[in-house]
Amino acid sequence: MAREELTRLTGQAGGPECDDDDCPNVYRTKSGSFVIQGDVSDAFTAPAGEALVEIPEHVLREAVRALGW
């Protein structure tokens, strides 16, 4: 799936929290699921085929506001 196919809910490029596309973000897929972009976390070992990412609380709050929840 290409990034262009996702709806970006957070971190407008060039905004105060984001210099480029390399900042934590939450995206929504066409099917309604979410793709999370963040720093790799080593809090514990994820099962095969999964990964852990860490994102700041303000990013989740921004995503919730964008969805109107």
The tens digit of pLDDT for each residue in 6-24 reads 999 998 655 556 666 678 9
In the Cβ-directed half-sphere of 49, how many Cα atoms lie within 13 Å?
0
Report pTM: 0.80
Which pLDDT value is given to residue 23? 84
* Domain limits, the chain: 3-67
Q: What mean pLDDT comes out for the span 60-67? A: 93
Per this entry, what is the length of the chain? 69
The tens digit of pLDDT for each residue in 17-63 reads 666 667 899 999 999 999 999 999 999 999 999 999 999 999 999 99
Q: Give the bridge partners for 36, in sequence order.
A: 26
Q: What are phi and psi of 42, to 5 degrees?
A: -115, 30
